[in-house]
Amino acid sequence: MNRRDFAKALAVAGALGGGMTTIGRAMASPVASRSEGSHTVVDPQRLLERQQAFLDMRFGMFIHLNMATFEEREWGDPTLSPKLFDPKHLDTDQWARAAKSANMGYACLTTKHHDGFCLWPTKTSSANVMQSSYPHDVVRRYVDSFRKAGLGVCLYFSILDLRQDIRARTVTPEKIALIKAQITELLTNYGPLTALILDGWNASWSRISYAELAYREIYDLVKTLQPDCLLTDHNAGSYPGTALYYTDIKQYEQHAGQKIPPDSPVPSQSGTTLQSDWFWKKAYPTAELASAKTIVEEWLKPFNDNHCNLILNVAPNRGGRFDDNAVARLAEIGRLWKNPGPAPKIARSVTVTTPDLAAGRPAWASASDEAVGPDQAFDDDFRSYWLADRGKEDAWIEVRFDAPVSFNTLSIVEPLHAEGYGDASRIATYRVEVERDGAWVTLVSGTKPAHYQFHEIPRTTAKRVRLSVTGKQPGVTEFGIYDEPRKG
C-alpha cells in the first residue's frame, strides 16, 4: 500500500463514516524494502527471528471482551445498540496481574469480533466504544496495562464484519478500504505489536476467500506499517498442518478440535479456553474451569515441545474484570509452570503469501485412476486429490497456461491421511520440469515428500509445468506454483 493507496483508503473510509481524521504516524521501525511491483519484501532472517521470539514466550492469554459479553452469546448480534456495551468496572491492570501470575509472556485482545463492534474510537463508520455506555478506549487501556507489566501485546481483528455487511460475496473496494483503514489505526496508534491475529477470513464458516480479499494486500499493509509485527490468520483448517500458507504463525483453534500434527516444524499457536467458551456467561463465576494440571501437563508442555505456544482465553465479566475463580486458577497454573527459557529452535519455513497460479488452470495427466482427474491437484482444495492408475509406478501431471507465467516457488503436497489414501507416503521420487523449445528441463527433484515439499527457485517463466512422480500408485492433493515477492 503506497502513499496514494493509503490516502485513497482513508478517503473512502471517511466517506463511509462521515469523515476520516488524520491517523497517527507509522511506527518508528525499519521500513521493509519494496520490489516486485508494489509488494513489501520481508527479510526472511528477520521474520525467523520474530517467529523464534514469539515461541520463546511460550504461553499467552486470549481476552475475549466485546458485545457478546453482554448477550450470553458467542457472536454478538449486529442489530443491537452499542449502548449495551458497559464494562463499568474495567480493570486491565487486573488482567495483566493475572497473566503474570500464570507466568504468561503475552496477551491478545479482541479489538473487533464478527459482529463488527470496535473496542477503540475508530474514525471509520463502524460502531465503537464512543457510542457505547462506556465511552473509553479499551484497546489503549489494555496495551498500556500489559506493556507496563512487561508482557507482549497482540491484537485480534475479525475480517468478517456483520454490522458493515462484510461477508462472503459482498466484499467491495469500499469495504476493503474500511478494513485497511481500521488495521492502519490499530498499527499506528497503539505502539509496536507482537502479532496481529486475524479471523473470519478464508474459513469454511465465514467463506470470505483470499480471491475476494487478497491476503497479500493485508500482509503488505501490516509489514509496511510494522515490519516486525507477525501476521497470523485462523486458517489452519484449510491448509496442511506442517506448512505455512498465508500466515506467519500457524493458528490452531484447539477449542474447535483442531490439532497440531506430530513433529510439526513450523511456528504455531493453539488457542483454547479456561472457561467453557470464549465470551463470558452468567454461570462462569461458579462454573467448573479447566484444571491447572490439564493446562500445564497435557497442553502447555507438550505443545511447547512441538514449536507451538498455548494461548488460553480468559473471559472478563460484564464489569470488565476477571471472576475470582479465574484469577485463582491462573495463579495455580503459575505455581505449576514457569517459562523454562528459549524454545526449541525452528528452521526457516517457506511461507506462501500469494495466489496459486496453477489453481483452476487446465490440467493433464499420464493417467488417472477411475476418473480421479489431474484437475483435483490444481483446485486449491486440500481435501481432494489426483491418483495415478493402479499398478503404475511412474506418472505425471501437468498444468498449461495460455501465456508464459513467471514463478519462483513450488509446493508439492501428498494426500497423506486422506480418506482412501492412507497414512504412509506412496511417493518415492518426484521431479518438476518446464517445457523449453520442445524439450523438458528439470527445475527440482527429490525423494519422499512426506506430506509436502516447498522449493524456492530462481524466477522461471514457462507455459507448461509438469510434476512427475514414482511409487506405488502415488497421488497429489495440490501442486502449487507461486510468484512470491523476495529479493534476488
Task: Tell me the pLDDT band of 314, cut-offs 50, 70 and 90.
Answer: very high
What letter represents residue 6's amino acid? F
Burial (CB count <10 Å: 0-12, 13-18, 19+), residue 456 = middle
pLDDT at 31 over 70: no
Q: Return the pLDDT at 33.
A: 46
Task: Tell me the pLDDT band of 449, cut-offs 50, 70 and 90.
Answer: low
Nearest to 353 by CA among 41, 90, 50, 22: 41
The model carries a pTM of: 0.91
- Per-residue pLDDT, averaged over 156-179, amounts to 98
E strands, 19-88, are 33-34, 40-41, 59-63
Q: Return the pLDDT at 29.
A: 39
- Per-residue pLDDT, averaged over 455-468, amounts to 96
- Per-residue pLDDT, averaged over 310-323, amounts to 98
How many Å apart are CA 178 and CA 132, to the nearest integer? 21
Q: Return the pLDDT at 17.
A: 37
Q: Return the pLDDT at 488.
A: 60
**48-91 per-position pLDDT tens digit:** 999 999 999 999 999 999 999 999 999 999 999 999 999 999 99
How many Å apart are CA 389 and CA 164, to the nearest integer? 50
How many Å apart are CA 38 and CA 46, to the nearest integer? 20
CA atoms within 13 A on the CB side of 468: 12
List CB contacts of 19: < 8 A, sequence separation 6 or more.
123
**Cβ atoms within 10 Å, residue 72:** 11
Domains and CATH numbers, the chain: 3-336 (3.20.20.80), 356-482 (2.60.120.260)
How many Å apart are CA 341 and CA 26, to the nearest integer? 32
Q: Strand 244-245 relative to strand 452-471: parallel, antiparallel, unpaired?
A: unpaired
Can you tell me whether residue 96 is helix, strand or coil? helix
Helix H segments across 258-311?
292-293, 301-304
Task: Tell me the pLDDT band of 450, cut-offs 50, 70 and 90.
Answer: low
CB 115 within 8 A of CB 84: no
